[in-house]
A and B are shown apart, each in its own frame.
Chain A
C-alpha cells in the first residue's frame, strides 16, 4: 500500500513538474500518464472529473488530481495525489524566489517559454480532438460544444453556471435523443 501511494505521489509530482499553465494545460500529460500509461482511469471518467472540478472551489489541476487519486486508491490516494501535484511548485517557486531575481526577464527564459507555449497549444488541440471523439456523440453534443466554446470565449459568463446549465440540459434532452435514436433503430447519428 505504502509503495502504491509513493507511486501515486511520484506520478503526480511528475505531472505537476511538467505542466505549464492552468488545469487544462495538464490534460495532455495526464492523458499520457494516467489513461494511456497506467490505466488508473478511462477517458470518460477523466472528462467527468474535469467537469466537476470546474464547478467546485479550488485549483482545477488539484481538484482533478484528488478525483483521480480517490478513484484509484480512496482517501490515501487522494492525499498522495494532491501532495504530489503541488510539491514541485513549492520547490521550484521557493528556489526562484530566493535564488533568481529577474528570472522571467532573462531573454533565454523568454524564448524558451515562447517555444513551450506554442507546443502547449498543439498538445491541448490533440487532447480536445480525443475528448471530442469520446464526449460529443450527436447533434446535441455539437450544439453544447459550440455553446460552451462561444460563451467562454466571448462573454464573461461564469463557467460554473455554464457547466451547471449544461448538466441540466443533458438531463432534459437525454430522454428525447434516446427516443429518437431508438426510433431510427441502432446508433445512427
Chain B
C-alpha cells in the first residue's frame, strides 16, 4: 500500500529533520536512493518549484515528491505525514510550557533566546539578500566591484522599505506590487 508507506516515510522525515524546510533535503535524497520512488534529478526541479511558489519550502517539497510518486493523494498523504510529528511535539511542548510560564528559569532562558533568534533571522535575511540583490557570480567573473551590486534592485529595496515603514499596509500588498514591477522592469 503505497500511501501508507509514503505516510510513514514522511512521518520519519518530519520527526527527525530539525532546523526547518531545507533540513529535510538530505532525507529526501536518501529516500530517493533507498526506495527508488523517484530519480535524484527530480530533487533539483523540486527545489526550483518549491522556492518559486508560495508556502513554506519544506511543505512544498513534501507535496511535490508525494505528487510525483502517487498523484494528488500522494501529495496530501506525504504532507500530512510530515506535519503530524510537529503537531504532536509542539502541543506537548506548549503544555509543559504553560506549567512553567513565569518561572524564573524559563524567563531567563528566553532572555538569552530572543536576541539569538533575532540574530538568526538577520542571518537568514542576509542570505536571501545575497541571492536577490547582489551578483556575487558576476563579480567573481569580471573582478569589477561595481558588478557586485545590482543597483536597480538596491534602489527598489530602499523604496519598498521606506514604503513599508510609511504606509504599514499588509505585506501581501508589497509582494503583489513587487511581482508586477519585477515583470515590468525586467528584474
**Chain A residues within 8 Å of B, Cβ to Cβ:** 16-29, 32, 44, 47-48, 50-63, 66-67, 70-71, 75, 78-79, 82, 85-86, 88-90, 92-94, 96-98, 103-104, 108-109, 111-128, 131-132, 134-137, 140-150, 152-153, 158-160, 162-163, 166-171, 173-175
A88 — which chain B residues lie within 8 A by C-beta? 54-55
A62 — which chain B residues lie within 8 A by C-beta? 56, 58-59, 83, 86
A113 — which chain B residues lie within 8 A by C-beta? 52, 179, 182
**Chain B residues within 8 Å of A, Cβ to Cβ:** 14-22, 24, 45, 48-60, 63-64, 67-68, 72, 75-76, 79-80, 82-83, 85-87, 89-91, 93-94, 97, 105, 107-129, 131-133, 153, 156-157, 160-161, 164-165, 170-172, 174-175, 177-183, 185-187
Q: How far is the CA of A142 from the CA of B119 in the complex (A)?
A: 9
Provided the pairs A24-B121, A28-B171 are in contact, do residues A112 and B182 lie with their beta carbons within 8 angstroms?
Answer: yes
Q: List 7 A-B contacts (CB under 8 A).
A: A47-B114, A56-B18, A86-B55, A115-B187, A118-B182, A126-B161, A171-B112
A8 to chain B, nearest CB (A): 13
Contact of A22 among B45, B72, B83, B124 (CB under 8 A): B124
Task: Specify the chain A residue showing the minimal Cβ separation from B94.
Answer: A70
The B interface, classified by DSSP as helix, strand, loop or mixed, is helix
B186 — which chain A residues lie within 8 A by C-beta? 111
Contact of B111 among A82, A90, A127, A170 (CB under 8 A): A170
B55 — which chain A residues lie within 8 A by C-beta? 16-17, 19, 86, 88-89, 92-93
Contact of B127 among A61, A125, A153 (CB under 8 A): A153
Task: Specify the chain B residue showing the minimal Cβ separation from A101.
Answer: B45
Contact of B171 among A32, A97, A141 (CB under 8 A): A32
Q: How far is the CA of A184 from the CA of B141 in the complex (A)?
A: 56
Q: How far is the CA of A161 from the CA of B113 in the complex (A)?
A: 12
Most buried by A among B19, B183, B186: B19
Provided the pairs A29-B172, A59-B21, A70-B91 are in contact, do residues A123 and B164 lie with their beta carbons within 8 angstroms?
Answer: yes
Provided the pairs A82-B83, A173-B112 are in contact, do residues A127 and B181 lie with their beta carbons within 8 angstroms?
Answer: no
Q: How far is the CA of A59 from the CA of B23 in the complex (A)?
A: 8
Q: How far is the CA of A53 from the CA of B120 in the complex (A)?
A: 12
A141 — which chain B residues lie within 8 A by C-beta? 111, 114-115
Evaluate contact between A58 and B49: CB separation under 8 angstroms: no
